[in-house]
Amino acid sequence: MAAVQGGLVDADEDKDIKTEASNDSWGNNNANDGRLLSPSPGSSASAGSNKSAAGASEEQQTLLAVLQFLRKNKLTESVEILRREAGLPEDSLEPKGAESSGAGSGGASGGVDLEGGDASSLLSRVTASSTAGAQAPTKGPIQSAAWLTDKLSHHSASCPTAKLTHSAGEDQPDVNVVLSAYSQQGDPALYEVYYSGLKRFIESVLDCHRAELSQVFYPLFVHMYLELVYNNHESEAKAFFEKFSGDQECYYEDDLRVLSSLTKKEHMRGNETLLDFRTSKFVLRISRDSYQLLKRHLQERQNNQIWNIIQEHLYIDIFDGMPRSKSQIDAMSGSLAGEAKREANKAKVYYGLLKEPEIELPLDDEDEEAENEEGKPKKKKPKKDSLGSKSKKQDPNAPSQNRIPLPELKDSDKLDKIMYMKEATKRIRLGPDNLPSICFYSFLNAYQGLTAVDFTDDSSLIAGGFADSTVRVWSVTPKKLRKVKSAADLNLIDKESDDVLERIMDEKTASESKILCGHSGPVYGISFSPDRNYLLSSSEDGTVRLWSLQTFTCLVGYKGHNYPVWDTQFSPHGYYFVSGGHDRVARLWATDHYQPLRMFSGHLADVTCTRFHPNSNYVATGSSDRTIRLWDVLNGNCVRIFTGHKGPIHALAFSPNGKFLASGATDGRVLLWDIGHGLMVGELKGHTDTIYSLRFSRDGEILASGSMDNTVRLWDATKAFDDLETDDFTAATGHIHLQDNSQELLLGTYMTKSTPVIHLHFTRRNLLLAAGAYNP
Amino acid sequence: MAEERRQKQCSVILPTESMKAMAESVGVGQLQEESCVAISEEVSYRIKEIAQDALKFMHHGKRRKLTTSDIDNALKLKNVEPLYGFQSQEFIPFRFASGGGRELHFYEEREVDLSDIINTPLPRVPLDVSLKAPKEQQKAESTEPLKVAKPGQEEEAAIQGKSQGATAADGKGKEKGLIRLKPRSTHELSVEQQLYYKEITEACVGSCEAKRAEALQSIATDPGLYQMLPRFSTFISEGVRVNVVQNNLALLIYLMRMVKALMDNPTLYLEKYLHELIPAVVTCIVSKQLCLRPDVDNHWALRDFAARLMAQSCKTFSTTTNNIQSRITKTFTKSWLDDKTQWTTRYGCIAGLAELGPDVIKTLILPRLTVEGARIKAVMEGPVVSNIDKIGADHVQSLLLKHCASVIAKIRPQPDNVEQYRTDYGYLGPMLCSHVMKARTQAALQAQQVNRTTLTITQPRPTLSVSQSGLSGSTGPRTPSIIKVPSSLTLMSPRPGTPSQPSPPATKYIVMATSAGTATTQQVITLSSSQSASPVTSTVPSATSTLQPLVKLESGSGPGLTGSRPLQKYIVVSLPSSASSSLEPKSSVIPTSISSTSLEAGMKMERSESPGASTQSPH
């Protein structure tokens, strides 16, 4: 593959500059924090100059900083003495510190969310009203370290050294810091009282507010439980859990199960779920009225316990307007960290398609003959025009052609494009009345070992990844798979001959299928390059391998993920590929670089599936934290966060026009997303088990979904997307109101006997191919 | 529910006994209770954690079952050495044991003798992964019921599977079937069978009547035809399809006779081929046109005959699962109720329904008599439309009169008032009245009403002579020519063992014993040999209309079957296993000789019996 000129990688300096630039854009706050990273008492004192520390006396801050330091060095006695002398309340140290760290992190992510400032000002107001003295958010070493964790989790894309931040065991100090936020002492017996008091209050408020305020229950419940556990109140924690876990929404069941097994402080170390909860703020979207109601209630009752949790661990995204209904809330919630902030989805996304390169279409022989009779110029012109007009019209939403450098088209690519266009003219127009035929490729004797399947774009090859670490490639056309001759034999052939490409192939190796061995663990992801020369496979062994389909050997093993790599995919333009795995990071690679070009970090759990946008400028990743994120390949920013799924996401598909995204999860639902507006626009219910494959037809009229429940379902995508494009209000407010029309959109359900559908593919003529392993 | 489950999840931890047992197994005795609790809590937590990670691997492995390798991978994820040696094929390799106050799950480890392993032959290499796609890509219709594989049709299925392709799901099943099952036998016909098949089919549709009779006889009796059954049934259904289009009445009749012969063969099981045969038969009943000249040709006889075949197959094969009878009834009724239906089809529908028995006549036909009468009247008395319509209406009328009269005679109390009939049944009323009266008198005369008009027996080969013991008093054998009964119609003395000539093997006779006040029963008597046959083999309760063939009744006074009842009549019916009731195109001659003799006997019987018997049994 040709190296990209002036690409993402060639300009390594560019990258650095970019990182810095983005740092700058985070504003003053960040620049200060950046200097704070060395955890020395001196620098912690200088943190006193933090601009957000409004109205704080320097003395007190210094005192607090010293206290922090002593405490950190286990000099509890001196802490006590100092504290008593200064007359500080007992609990002023910890919670305030934690709060400030929360504020710090809010500010840190301010580059992405503008609400950060608002939140911190709110915070200072509340602190001022609740406790006298020591209002100043202090920047001690603990806080900066805690903040570091936050920062890393949000922005490790720009700093590769942070990639192991979350791996348990290696970051023990950080975990301690993170957990120490829970070391708040309150009467454990009162937790139940607090919680049920709030429950009573929320049940008594007006209906319109109740649904919104009920969102608070789950994060509060989790944090209160964790606090109890952290402070070694095991029996209280258990009682608390048993009493209130039943009240939580059913879609949190999986998380509650994890939580229920966690009963000891020791368990909290290295527990990822817990870290997710602590390091990321649970985001709630609440209308201003409801929020005021809650705030007033908590202040009246002096319910500091709950108020502190809300301040520290929750991010409340306040909006003006009507409170949302229960169904609206349910549609969007379910993710590990609450809903996406509205600001997270405001960035401009260039979802349009790139201009197709102009290719002179040589007409095939029949046409040529016909033309000769009728007169050449007449026929050729209109044909060219029709092609030209299509590609010349620049989509206003499309990124510029060279936004990211793309490989030049080779002659063979051009030939392939021509083939594609020819096939496209024979394509069947699908619709509700004209459903595609489905051809099912079943893998026999796979013994439950088939883990991944991919088809080439022209449907000539099928590759399967297996649990026994092998990758197998089949030819589904009569053309057999042949290897290139060995170097010695290649020397013998006549390089000048016309059929040199034919001559380099070794006829003796022709067979219908080839086995590629090299991985040392189950192969979970597989992807053909668009030019059919390469195959990518990702495996449990933590590597992504690039295979040549000319020699059927492994060319490169890309190491970077230290944990299982769940998915990988080639860019539609080749050269780049993306991978995502258990380490919660998605990586962008180029085939000729052994190190990743970009690291997309931000998911709170495994990245389970990765997809390139048709214009190669964006990458979508689905995760077990039940969110979907869209990343900009150019700068590595997360430009969209979609929440709403209630289970790990296992399938993603972009519509051919690049405007929409479909996602399928273990909850058996397909959700449709408008990328431009950052909104959920549809919900397709029907499957009863995990959806492993989604695919739009070539023209985007039909969405096919394949599932573990042994069915392929076809959905009317045109109708699903048509209904909403008129609605501007939802786009402005971000409040979706989905009608339940799954049954109308469902065009067909096709059962297999006992074969889970794990891959779907539309041929260029819109025949639907499905694949799965027969499960006797 | 969810709540309860969650609470359970919360509290499940390993029992401390397990900890103790494990500690003992590694040599740590006397573990304190507190440490046991602490350890078990810790272990439970770690196990849950690992299980949760293992689930992740299961999901990504696209499986529903958690395997040991998932757990290994989860352990690897935590940088823990995986457990080796748990690659068990069994789902859960643990055994449960209790006793001594302890309940344990344990992994059974057997001592393995190395030499055993070395000496055992290597297991077969598992089949390699392969990729299959249906040859032709067809849409899998979820709503389409899965086809039931028909054991006799495999060879066809295999052939068709390739040419036509099956549904994706179906086709897949087939391919997979090939993997798991041993290859299905392809019922190849031997050369002899092929020759036989050729001969038989040619004879059945050929021009030589004698040959045809022989062929039908062979089909009806030969015990080894099972392998050829699919071919026969295809032959018939295809033949009907072609000849209906060509209006070839003769061939249709031949084919129906083949169906009849197949049904008569006791060694064949037609259930699996009804899907081919029934449409063919129904076509012959209700088709708009069956012959080239509908005004002249007697296609009515074919309809009657086919209707009887239909009725017979309904009786024999209808079950609660296939619902043949109700489906057929629905089909007939629907097209009968249609105003646009032609007279020919109308006739077929009525005949088909009527043959299904008096209950069907009572519930479906009688209520329609008025309407139908009006329709007939419109044709008969209205302006002359066409001759064909007139003939059709005429036939329908006589058909209705024939079938309804006997039923009405049974359900209507006397006296028969013409005016009353007119108000009840409209145009057909007066005629019905006279028919009913005739039926009553006839019933008074005899129990058996043989009014099948279309059957002629053309079997030229005399197979049995008849002895009439009770009636004429002469026990000597008579040649068939004397009583002018075609050979297949045999009159048997109730005494067994008296036929003077050996009968063909496995000829069935149904002896109907009717007595006053009791329901009719049929006794199927198979005479395997002429001398030592024991007559009573089985007793089949049956409605009487199944017995289309010829019937003869006798006064029974013989000691063999009469039992204690001195005045019992026996109706001896020859089930035409030897192609006895064959159908001759264009002939509707009733063998009068039988009726004359039998009627006499019947009259004698009835007079001596109570008159109520006549209404009980409409034979």
Q: With helix as H, strand as E and coil as C, how does A559-590 read?
A: ECCCCCEEEEEECCCCCEEEEEECCCEEEEEE
Query: Per-residue pLDDT averaged across B348-362, rounded?
Result: 87
The pLDDT, as a whole number, for residue B52 is: 87
- CATH 3.90.1640.10 for domain B16-119: no
Query: Per-residue pLDDT averaged across B596-619, rounded?
Result: 40
Burial category of A688 from C-beta neighbours within 10 Å (exposed 0-12, middle 13-18, buried 19 and up): exposed
Phi/psi of residue B551, nearest 5 degrees:
-135, 140
Average predicted confidence (pLDDT) for chain B: 67
Please name every residue paired with B385 in a beta bridge, in sequence order, or none if there are none.
none
The closest CB to that of A262, out of B45, B73, B140, belongs to B45
Give the DSSP letter string of B196-250.
Answer: HHHHHHHHHHSS-HHHHHHHHHHHHH-TT-GGGHHHHHHHHHHHHHHHHHHT-HH
Give the DSSP letter string of B148-167.
Answer: PPPGGGHHHHHHHHHHT---
Q: pLDDT tens-digit profile of B476-498?
A: 444 443 334 444 433 444 444 44
Contact check, Cβ <8 Å, B60/A524: yes
Give the DSSP letter string of A735-775.
Answer: -------HHHHEEEEEE-SS----EEEE-TT--EEEEEE--
Please name every residue paired with B571 in a beta bridge, in sequence order, or none if there are none.
B512, B553
The pLDDT, as a whole number, for residue A553 is: 93
Contact check, Cβ <8 Å, A442/B69: no
The pLDDT, as a whole number, for residue A607 is: 93
The pLDDT, as a whole number, for residue B561 is: 43
Nearest CA in chain A to B4: A246
Centre a 10 Å sphere on the Cβ of residue A122 and count the other Cβ atoms it contains. Answer: 17
pLDDT at B464 over 60: no
pLDDT at B525 over 60: no
Question: What tokens appear for A70 in the block?
Answer: 């002593």
Looking at residue A597, its amino acid is L
Give the β-pairing of A282-287 and A314-319. parallel
Nearest CA in chain A to B45: A261
Query: Per-residue pLDDT averaged across B549-577, rounded?
Result: 44
Instruction: Give A256's contacts in chain B (Cβ within 8 Å).
Output: 6
Q: Give the pLDDT band of residue A8 (cuts 50, 70, 90).
A: low
CA-based max dimension of chain B: 114
Q: How many CB pairs under 8 A join A and B?
A: 167
Query: Per-residue pLDDT averaged across A633-662, rounded?
Result: 92
The residue to which tokens 């009719």 are assigned: B520
Instruction: Give A666's contacts in chain B (Cβ within 8 Å).
Output: 59
pLDDT at A610 over 80: yes
The closest CB to that of A749, out of B63, B69, B142, belongs to B142
- A45-54, A437-446, B123-132, B387-396: segment of lowest average pLDDT: A45-54
CA distance B135 to chain A (A): 9
The pLDDT, as a whole number, for residue A130 is: 40
Q: pLDDT tens-digit profile of B189-209?
A: 788 888 888 888 888 888 888
The closest CB to that of B62, out of A253, A451, A462, belongs to A451
Q: Give the pLDDT band of residue A630 (cuts 50, 70, 90).
A: very high
Q: Residue B577 in contact with residue B507, Cβ under 8 Å?
A: yes
pLDDT at B584 over 60: no
Q: Give the pLDDT band of residue A703 (cuts 50, 70, 90).
A: very high
Q: Give the pLDDT band of residue A112 (cuts 50, 70, 90).
A: very low
Highest mean pLDDT: which range of A732-736, A748-752, B64-68 = A748-752
Of residues A79 and A614, which shows the higher confidence score?
Answer: A614
Instruction: Give A445's contacts in chain B (Cβ within 8 Å).
Output: 126-130, 179
Q: pLDDT tens-digit profile of A497-543?
A: 778 778 888 888 888 889 999 999 999 999 999 988 999 999 999 99
A140/A130 Cα distance (integer angstroms):
22
The pLDDT, as a whole number, for residue A771 is: 92
Give one word for A575, left, alpha or beta, with left for phi > 0 and alpha for psi -120 to 50. Answer: left
The pLDDT, as a whole number, for residue A613 is: 94
The closest CB to that of A444, out of B56, B65, B179, belongs to B179
Q: Which domains does chain A have, with CATH numbers?
A: 2-181 (no CATH), 184-324 (1.25.40.500), 438-773 (2.130.10.10)
The pLDDT, as a whole number, for residue A651 is: 94
pLDDT at A352 over 60: yes
The pLDDT, as a whole number, for residue B551 is: 43
Between the alpha carbon of residue A339 and those of residues A205, B463, B468, the distances in Å are: 23, 93, 100
B535/A39 Cα distance (integer angstroms):
112
The pLDDT, as a whole number, for residue A649 is: 94
Taken as a whole, chain B contains a residue count of 619
Give the DSSP letter string of B486-515.
Answer: -TT-----SSTT--SSPPPTTEEEEEEEE-
The pLDDT, as a whole number, for residue A737 is: 67
The residue to which tokens 């309804």 are assigned: B404
B365/B400 Cα distance (integer angstroms):
8
Beta strand residue intervals within A447-530, DSSP E: 450-455, 461-466, 471-475, 481-484, 505-511, 513-516, 523-528
Q: pLDDT tens-digit profile of B88-129?
A: 555 556 677 777 777 777 777 777 788 888 888 888 887 888
Nearest residue to B302 via CA among B290, B319, B292, B317: B290
Q: Nearest 5°: CA angle at B105, between B103 and B108? A: 130
Phi/psi of residue B225, nearest 5 degrees:
-95, 0
Instruction: Give B2's contacts in chain A (Cβ within 8 Å).
Output: 246, 250, 253
Q: pLDDT tens-digit profile of A366-378?
A: 444 444 444 444 4
Instruction: Give B49's contacts in chain A (Cβ within 8 Å).
Output: 261, 271
Highest mean pLDDT: which range of A499-508, A724-733, B212-221, B380-389 = B212-221
Nearest residue to A334 via CA among A117, A625, A571: A625
Q: Give the pLDDT band of residue A134 (cuts 50, 70, 90).
A: very low
pLDDT at B159 over 80: no
ipTM of the complex: 0.74
The pLDDT, as a whole number, for residue A4 is: 52
The pLDDT, as a whole number, for residue A181 is: 59
Walk across the sheet containing A438-444 and list its strands: A759-762, A768-773, A438-444, B130-132
Centre a 10 Å sphere on the Cβ of residue B590 and count the other Cβ atoms it contains. Answer: 15
CA distance A451 to chain B (A): 5
B359/B407 Cα distance (integer angstroms):
9
The closest CB to that of B52, out of A242, A258, A712, belongs to A258
Average predicted confidence (pLDDT) for chain A: 75
Contact check, Cβ <8 Å, A448/B7: no
Contact check, Cβ <8 Å, B140/A438: yes
Of residues B118 and A128, which shows the higher confidence score?
Answer: B118
Q: Nearest 5°: CA angle at A692, between A690 and A694? A: 120
Instruction: Give A610's contacts in chain B (Cβ within 8 Å).
Output: none
Burial category of B195 from C-beta neighbours within 10 Å (exposed 0-12, middle 13-18, buried 19 and up): exposed
Question: What tokens appear for A129 in the block?
Answer: 């009203």
Instruction: Give B57's contacts in chain A (Cβ within 8 Å).
Output: 522, 540, 564
Contact check, Cβ <8 Å, A451/B140: no
Looking at residue A450, its amino acid is L
For the stretch A19-23, contacts whose Cβ atoms lie closer than 8 Å and that sit 24 or more positions apart, written own/partner, are A19/A158, A19/A159, A22/A111, A22/A158, A22/A635, A22/A637, A23/A158
Looking at residue B300, its amino acid is W
Q: pLDDT tens-digit profile of B360-413?
A: 888 888 888 888 888 888 887 777 667 778 888 888 888 888 888 888 888 877
Instruction: Give B135's contacts in chain A (Cβ within 8 Å).
Output: none
pLDDT at B610 over 60: no
Contact check, Cβ <8 Å, B175/A442: yes
Contacts of B144 (CB under 8 A, 6+ apart): B167
